[in-house]
Structure 1
Amino acid sequence: MGDFNLTVILDAIRRAPAGLSRVELAQLVGLSPQTVSNISRRLLDQNLIVEAGKEGTGPGKPRTMLRLNSSGKYAVGVHLDPAVTTFVVLDLVGAVVKHSRITTPAGADPDAVIGTIAAEIKQLIDDSGVEAARIAGLGVASPGPVDLGEGIVVDPPLLPGWHRVPLRDALAAATGLSTLVDKDATSAAVAETWAGGPSGAGSFIFLYMGTGIGCGIVLNDEVVRGTSGNAGEIGHIVVDPGGPPCDCGQRGCVNSTCIPRVLVAQAESAGILACSGDRTDPTDPVGATEPTDPAGATGAADGPAVQERFVRLCAQAAAGDGQARQIIERSAVLVARAVSTVTDVLDVDRVVFGGPFWSCLSERYLERIPDLVRESSATRRIHAIEVVGTGVGEDVGAIGAACLVLEHTLAPRSQRLLLEG
C-alpha cells in the first residue's frame, strides 16, 4: 500500500507541470497530510522530486511547491519498425535528451538486428552523457503480436523470420539494462499519457500509423493491454467487404487495404509511381505476394523503400495529383471505418493519431476522418469524439518505449495493491 501511495503522489506531481504543494497533494489524492509529508520526503531522498520555490498569495505561510526532478531518472527507448529503428534517451519529465535513427537491417536474421540495436544503444548512452546509474532501464516498442510476459516477438507480419524471438532477454543480455518489450501501438499510447499533454488524458485510442496500423487503448488514464498484452490488434477489422483478400482469409481488412505498402502498390498499378522492381501482385493478400524466401521482396527488406515511396505518394497528393489524392482519401475513409468500430466498442473521448507515417497523412486525414467518425458514432448525441494528432511528435514509438520503463517503475497501477500470500 505504501508503494502504491508513493506512485499516486508522484503521478499527481507529474501531471501538474507547475508543481503542487503538500497541502494541495493531500486534498487531491485523499491522503492525510502526515502521509503526504512522509512520502514527499522519500521522493526527495530518491531525487525523484525537488522543492521548487514557494508560492502563496493569500494569508498564511507560503507553500513549498514540489515538482518532478527531470534528472532524477532516465530511460532508454527503442522503436523497432521494419523500415527504421529509432532510439531516445528520455528524462523523468518525458523530454528527449538524445536521439538517433538507423535503417533497420535488411534480411531475416533477428540476431543481426539485435546486435545492431545493442551497439546503437551503447553509443547513444555514451553520447548522452547520462550516468549509467541514473538509467532506470530500456524499453522496446515492437510490431505485434508479442508475448508480453516473456518479452517474445511472435511472427509479426512485416518482420519475416522473427519466429518467437526473445527480444527482451537478448537485449537485456547485450546491454546490461533491465528491459521491457511492448507493442508499438501500446507504447505510443503510453507516450501520450506521459508526454502528450491534454491529448493524453482520460479515455482515448491511439491510432498508430507505421509500416502497419495498430491501436493503443487508454481508459480512465490507464493503459489497457488485454489478457496477453495484445489488445488493439485492428489489422483484421473488415473495412471494405469487396476489397482485396487478406492473409487471414477475409477480404478488405485494414491490413489488406490501408497500410502504406498497399497504397504504394495501388499507386504503382495506377502508374502514379514507377514500379520499384521489387513489388509483386498488388491484389495479393496484404498488398503484396509473400515470398517463399523470408528475405525476399516484402517485409524488412523493402521497408525503407516502401517508406520513401509512400512519402513520395503523399507529396504528390498534396501537390494536387488527383489520382494520388484519391488513393490517400480512400484510405482515410477506410481507416475511419475501423476507428468508428473501435470507438463505438470502447466509448472513448478521443482518437489520437501518430507514428512514423502520420506526418505525411495528417493534413488529409484530419480533413476527412473527424466528420466520418462523428457521423457514425453511436454516442454522437451524448458526447463528441475528438480526433487529433499526437502531442508527442513523430518519435512517439521510441518515446513510448522509454515511457514503458517510467510507467513500470513509477506509475500507480492496481497490481501494486495485490497482497502476496
Structure 2
Amino acid sequence: MGDFNQAVILDSIRRAEEGLSRVELSGSAGLAAQTVSNICRRLLDAELIVEAGKEASGPGKPRTILRLNPKGMFAVGVHIDPALTSFALVDAVGTVLESLEQPTDLASPPDEAVAAMGREILAIIERSGVDRHRIAGVGVATPGPIDAANGTVVDPPHMPGWLRVPLRSILAEVTGLPVVMDKDVTAAAVAELWTGSTGGAANLIYVYIGTGIGAGLILGDEVVRGSSGNVGEIGHIITDPYGPDCDCGSRGCVKVTCMPETLVAEARELGVLPAPDPGNPSTLPQDVTALADAAADGNVAAADILARSAHRMAGAVSVLTNLLDVEKVVFGGPLWPALSATYLAQVPGLLRQRSVTGNVHAVDIAGTRLHPGGGAFGAACLVMEKTFSPNAAQLLLDAKPASG
C-alpha cells in the first residue's frame, strides 16, 4: 500500500506542470495529510522531488510547492528496429540528454549483438556524467512477437535468426541495471500517454510505421498489452482481397500491401526508384524518403503508390476503430514522416466514410506530437511508467489458499 500511495503522489506531482502543495496532494489523492507529509519527506530525502518556492492562496500560511526533480532519476531507452537501433538517456521530466542511432547488427549472432547494445548503454551513461545510481533502469522497445514473461524476442519477421533471444537477461547482465522490455508499438503508446500527448483522448490507437507496422492501444487511459504482451499485431488484416498472396494463406493483408518495403518494391517495379545498387546499397528509410520526395516533386506513379497505401491503411485502421470505438488515431514511427503528407490528407476522409459511429462521435486522426523517430524515448518511458505510474496490482496480496 505504501508503494502504491507513493506512486500516486509522484504521478500527481509529475502531471502538475506548476507543481502541487501537500494540501493539494492530500485532496487530489484522497490521502490523509500526515500520510502525504510522510511520503513527501521520503521523496525529498531521495531527491526525487524538490521544494520550488511558496505560493499564497488566500488567508493563511503560504503553501510550499513541490515539483519533480529532473535530476532525481534517469532512464535509458533502446529501440530496436530491423533497420536502425536507437538509444536515449532521459531525465525524470522527459528531457533527452544523450541520443545515438546506429544500423541494427543483423550479421552477428543475436546474443553478441545484444551484448554490444549493453556496452553502448554503459558508454552513453559514462559520457553523460550522470550518477549511475540515479539510473532507474533500461527500457527496451523491440519488434514482436515477444515473450513478455521471460523477456525474450520470438522470431521477429524482419530479423532472421532472432529466435527466442533472451534480450532482457543479456542487457541486465551486461549493464547491471533493471531492464523493462515491451513491444515497440506498446512503448510508443506508453510515450503518448506518459507525456500527455493524447490531447485528452482516453481511448486511442497508435499506428506504428517502421520496418513493420503494428498498433498500440490505450483504453480508458490505460495501455493495453494483451494476455502475452503482443497486442497490436495487425499484419494480417486484409486491406485488398484481390491483392498479392500473403504467407498466411490469405490475399492482400497489411503485410503485403502496406509495409514500407512493399511500397519500395512497387516503386522499383514501376521505375519510380532505380534498381538496388549492390555496390552502394540504400537503406529502407532512404528508399521510403526517396519515394515520398518523388511524389512531392510531381511524379504521378509515386503519388499513386502512396495514395493506394493510404487507402489500404485506412481500411485496416477502420477495422480497429469500429471494433474498439476509440476517439483518436495517432500515426507515428520512424518511417511515418515520409508518409505523413499523403496519409493526413486522405485517411481522415476515408475513415469517416467507414465509421459506424460517425453520427455519434468523430475519430480524430493525427500524427504524433513526439519526435517521430523517438522510439528510444518511448522505450525510456517504459521505465518511467513502471516507476511513476500507480499500478493497482501492487495492492493485491500474495495470498495462498488455506490448506486442510
Is TM more than 0.5 here? yes
Shift of 1:202: 2.0
Instruction: Report the counterpart of residue 402 of structure 2 in structure 1.
Output: none
Count of aligned pairs between the two proteins: 398
8 Å contact kept, 1:225–1:231: yes
SS in 2 for 1:211: coil
How has the CA–CA distance of structure 1 residues 110 and 265 changed in structure 2, closer, same or farther, with 3 Å as cutoff? same
Q: What 5-or-longer segments of structure 2 have no aligned partner?
A: 400-404
Aligned to 1:379: 357
Q: 1:95-174 maps to which residues of 2 (within 5 A)?
A: 95-107=95-107, 109-174=109-174
Letter in 1 for 2:34: Q
- Letter of the aligned partner of 1:104 in structure 2? T
Return the letter of the residue paired with 2:369. Answer: G
Question: In the alignment, is the contact (CA less than 8 A) between 1:22 and 1:36 conserved in 2?
Answer: yes
2:136 is paired with a residue of what secondary structure?
Answer: strand
Are 2:28 and 1:22 equivalent residues in the alignment?
A: no
Moved more, 317-326 or 367-376: 367-376
Tell me how far apart the structure 1 counterparts of residues 384 and 12 of structure 2 sit (CA, whole Å).
14
Matches within 5 A, 1:117-266: 117-199=117-199, 202-266=202-266
Q: Tell me which residue corresponds to 1:50.
A: 50
CA contact 1:195–1:391 (8 Å) conserved in 2: no
Q: What amino acid is aligned across from residue 351 of structure 1 in structure 2?
A: V
Compute the TM-score of the two structures, normalised by the length of structure 1: 0.90
1:366 maps onto 2:353 in alignment: no
2:216 is paired with a residue whose SS is strand
Corresponding residue number in structure 2 for 1:291: none
Aligned to 1:322: 300
Shift of 1:50: 1.3
TM-score between the two structures when normalised by the length of structure 2: 0.94
Q: Deviations over 1:47-86 (max 9, x none)?
A: 2111111223433332222111111110100001111100
Question: Does the 8 Å contact 1:84/1:304 carry over to 2?
Answer: no
The aligned counterpart of 2:392 is: 414
The CA deviation at 1:32 is 2.6
Q: Which residue pairs with 1:405 in the alignment?
A: 383
Mapped to 1, the partners of 2:124 and 2:353 lie a distance apart of 46
Once the two structures are superposed, residues 101-151 of structure 1 have per-residue CA deviations (whole angstroms, 9 ceiling, x without a partner) of 111124262133213312321221111111110001111110000000101
Q: Give the C-alpha shift of residue 156 in structure 1.
A: 0.5
Mapped partners of 2:336, 2:196: distance in 1: 15
Question: For the residues of structure 2 that align with 1:384 and 1:62, how far apart are their CA atoms?
Answer: 45
Alignment partner, residue 367 of structure 2: 389
Q: SS in structure 2 opposite 1:123?
A: helix
Deviation, structure 1 residue 18: 1.4
Q: Report % sequence identity.
A: 54
Deviation at 1:231, TM superposition (A): 0.8
How far off its partner does 1:198 sit? 4.3
Conserved? CA contact 1:108–1:160, under 8 Å: no
Deviates more, 1:62-71 or 1:23-32: 23-32
Moved more, 212-221 or 109-118: 109-118
Given residue 86 of structure 2, which amino acid in structure 1 is its aligned partner?
A: T
Runs of 4+ in 1 over 4 A off after TM superposition: none
Q: Which runs of 5+ in 1 are unaligned?
A: 279-301
Could you tell me how far 1:26 is from its partner in structure 2? 2.3
Whichever residue aligns with residue 93 of structure 1, its letter is V
Aligned match of 1:92: 92
Q: Which amino acid aligns with 2:325?
A: D
Measure, in 1, the Cα distance between the counterparts of 2:33 and 2:45: 18
Residues 180 and 57 (structure 1), Cα distance of their counterparts in 2 relative to 1, 3 Å cut:
closer
Q: Deviations over 1:201-249 (max 9, x none)?
A: 5221111110001111111221110100001111111111111111111
Instruction: Kindly state the Cα deviation for residue 181 of structure 1 after the two structures are TM-superposed.
Output: 1.3
How far 1:375 sits from its partner (Å)?
2.5
State the alpha-carbon separation in 2 of the partners of residues 203 and 4 from structure 1: 24
2:319 aligns with: 341
Q: CA deviation at 1:29?
A: 2.3
Aligned residue for 1:378, secondary structure, equals: coil
In 2, the alpha carbon distance for the partners of 1:104 and 1:323 equals: 31
> What whole-Å deviation, never above 9, does each CA across 1:397-416 have from its counterpart, x for those lacking one?
21111111111122111211
Change (3 A) 1:90 1:395: farther
The CA distance in 2 between the partners of 1:353 and 1:100, in whole Å, is 23
The alpha carbon displacement at 1:34 in A equals 2.6
Residue 305 of structure 1: which of 283, 304, 309 is its match? Answer: 283
Output the CA distance in 2 between the equivalents of 1:391 and 1:258.
Answer: 23
* RMSD of equivalent CA atoms: 1.8
Amino acid at match of 1:363: A
Q: Distance in 2 between matches of 1:103 and 1:33?
A: 52
Structure 1 CA distance, aligned partners of 2:302 and 2:379?
33
For 2:387 and 2:193, the matched residues in 1 are separated by 15
| 2:146/2:153 contact within 8 Å kept | yes
